[in-house]
Amino acid sequence: MVWRHGVGRVATLTTFSSGNNLGELLDKKNSRLITRIVNWAIADPERKNDFFVDIRDARIGKSVEIVVRTKKYPKVQGLEFSKIDKDTYRAYYTNTETGFKSVLGAVYGVNYDMEYQYLGFNPDLETLVSATNGKLFQPEQIDEIVEHVKSVSRRVISERTSFRNIFLIAALILIVIEIVGRRIRETWFKRH
């Protein structure tokens, strides 16, 4: 998953391998994926293509710049592009609702107003979090977060141990001892 955050880019790659490593991603054929993700985070490799769309994430009610590099004048309903360089066009658009939007195949996010960013959270959130065995942390409490995740992710595995075989073997041994004992007694009393 890739997206833009602030002035930078964020790229995540989620994997699972039982050996707690990257598994087949480290194979020669698959390792290119990691290289390409890192290259994208450094600079978008598509910027040199003949067709390229660049849109930064936006906020509701704020104008977002859309830059398109193409040999033909881009046509999008509701947008008026102006030429700013050779084969490069720019338009501005103001979004009215949050979510992910797409222009000419490029996806961008529209966030809520900046003033809502620092409002805080609902006081009932702490009750909901604790009801699900969760815990609230401050961003700087990294060690506490790690410790909590370790403690919650520990699982108790109950293994059923059967003693049935032990009792069966003991019963068989007793039967054999009794049979041998009777034979010895029978042969002893017959001789005497």
- Band the pLDDT of 53: cuts 50, 70, 90: confident
Residue 172 confidence class, pLDDT cut points 50, 70, 90: very high
Do 132 and 151 touch, CB atoms closer than 8 A? no
The whole-angstrom separation of Cα 187 and Cα 180 is 11
146, 82: one domain = no
| Residue 173, pLDDT above cutoff 90 | yes
What lies within 8 Å, CB to CB, of 157 at 6+ separation is none
Indicate whether 149 and 186 sit together in one domain.
yes
- The type of residue at 57 is D
Answer with the one of 99, 117, 135 that is the final residue of a domain. 117
The residue segments making up the domain with residue 191 are: 121-192
At residue 44, the pLDDT reads 64
Q: Are 64 and 95 in contact (CB under 8 A)?
A: yes
Query: Global pTM?
Result: 0.43
Please say if the pLDDT value at position 15 is more than 80. Answer: no
Provide the token pair at 25. 């991603």
Together in a domain, 58 and 17: no
Rg of the Cα atoms in the chain:
35
Domain termination residue (choose one: 71, 102, 117)? 117
Percent of the chain with pLDDT over 90: 15
Complete DSSP assignment for 73-141: ----TT---EEEETTEEEEEEE--S-EEEEETTEEEEEEPPGGGTTS---TTHHHHHHHTT-----TT-
**Same domain membership, residue 190 and residue 172:** yes
Q: Sign of torsion, CA 68 74 76 80?
A: positive
Grouping H, G, I as helix, E, B as strand and the rest as coil, residue 14 is coil
Number of domains in the chain: 3
Report how far residue 141's alpha carbon sits from residue 145's, in angstroms, rounded to the nearest whole number: 6
Shared-domain flag, residues 64 and 37: no
pLDDT at site 89: 92
Residue 41 dihedral angles phi and psi, to the nearest 5°: -65, -35
145 shares a domain with 104: no
pLDDT of the residue at 1: 53
Same domain, 110 and 128: no
Q: Is the pLDDT of residue 39 over 70?
A: yes
Same domain? For 101 and 141 the reply is: no
Q: What average pLDDT does the segment 61-74 reach?
A: 89
Does one domain contain both 131 and 158?
yes
pLDDT at residue 119, rounded to an integer = 76
- The more confidently predicted of residues 145 and 190 is 145
Q: In the prediction, which pLDDT does 176 show?
A: 96
**For 109-157, what is each residue's pLDDT tens digit?**
888 887 777 777 777 888 888 888 888 888 888 899 888 888 877 777 8
Domain limit, last residue, from 84, 117, 150? 117
Averaged pLDDT score across all residues of the chain = 83
Asked if residue 147 and residue 84 are part of one domain, the reply reads no
